[in-house]
Amino acid sequence: MPDIEPIIFDKQVFLTTEREAGQRIDKYLAGRMSGLSRSLVQKLIEAGHVIMDGVICKRNTRIREGQSIIVEIALPSDFELTAEEMDIEIVYEDDDIVAVNKPAGLVVHPAPGHFNGTLANAMLHHCGQLSDLAGPLRVGIVHRLDKETSGVMVMAKNNKAHVGMAVQFRERTLQKEYWAIAEGELRFDSDTIDLPLGRHFRDRKKFAVVFGMGKESKSHYSVLERFDGFSLVEVAPKTGRTHQIRVHLKSLGHPVICDGYYGFRRKMRRRDLVPPEVALELTQEKLDEILLNRQALHAHSLHFAHPVSGEKMDLHAEMPEDMKDVLALLRQYKKKG
């Protein structure tokens, strides 16, 4: 018996190409799905969680061009979320909720390739108990941030608090503000981006502006500072679509810097920001120093009603050092006005 239980927490869809034809399905999926080993892929296949053109396949099945493959990500039967001690900055805490300043690079909850070492693991250790309404993988989770996005996140310690927070997210009565360093200089000092978002038609891991079939998505932005070739922007999303801010800024031609999915560059080095006369005085090692290697997006603030007491909550998370370092050089060498 395969040690997989039908606890499904994700589904992925693939369409095979001519170049991929002839590969075994287990090898193909292990190469396409980041974080999943070939042995785990084989267990998913044996448990009937991989479907090709509507039919459950075997692990030695060879794929053909133009086939549709649906993969259900399920958990091993013995999986249990473990408490792990980590150094996480606590922004606010009481008997019902805990808010943290999530560092960039930390996954919020277990997912393929990240069954441990997540924020959920850390907060289970810190709090001892979290709400379980979202299931065994998402204890305490009422909203999420992308792995490489830093900033303030609230988690529920009990189910009453979870329901109270979930209602506010669903009814859009709370307010979020993000800080982003964007490529180029936005045309307007402030504006609302009202463009529907949906899955990218080629890359299912990405999102894009999709007219006709996309979901309503709105973001209001204000330019906080202008630089030569860059802008510091505050963005308040009015809806909560996946990758919303990143895709909306890209749609304007001003993606978040160092956004590997939607941007123009993956890394920001010191040499990218200092003028030639300053570069001459610096060592090669200093010029090659990487200041930022993730999207420059930070969840700065969150405003909501306490889910139990009703008290007005205004929580803030300090900008991380990597974004501060980039801004310091922008202010020193590329400030406008």
The model's pLDDT over 65-124, given as tens digits with 9 standing for 90+, comes to 999 999 887 766 566 788 999 999 999 999 999 999 999 999 998 876 667 899 999 999
Q: What is the pLDDT of residue 79?
A: 67
Structure tokens at 100: 């943290």
> Which residues participate in catalysis according to the annotation?
146
Structure tokens at 127: 């709090």
Q: What is the pLDDT of residue 172?
A: 93
Task: Label residue 202 by pLDDT band (50, 70, 90).
Answer: confident
Burial of 209 (0-12, 13-18, 19+ CB in 10 A): middle
Domains 89-171 and 176-333 alike in fold: yes
CATH entry, 4-75, from 3.40.50.150, 3.10.290.10, 3.40.50.300, 3.40.30.10: 3.10.290.10
Rg from Cα positions in the chain: 22
Predicted confidence (pLDDT) at residue 7 exceeds the cutoff of 60 = no
CATH number assigned to the domain covering 89-171: 3.30.2350.10
> Is the distance from CB of 290 to CB of 271 less than 8 angstroms?
no
Architecture of domain 176-333: 2-Layer Sandwich (3.30)
Predicted confidence (pLDDT) at residue 277 exceeds the cutoff of 80 = yes
Structure tokens at 172: 């859009």
Size (the chain), residues: 337
The full set of domain ranges for the chain reads 4-75, 89-171, 176-333
Query: In what helix (H) or strand (E) does residue 12 lie, and over which residues does it extend?
Result: strand 4-15
Q: What is the pLDDT of residue 4?
A: 45
Cα 334 off chain centre by: 29
Q: What span, in angstroms and rounded, lies between the C-alpha atoms of 313 and 193?
A: 27
Between 75 and 192, residue with greater pLDDT: 192
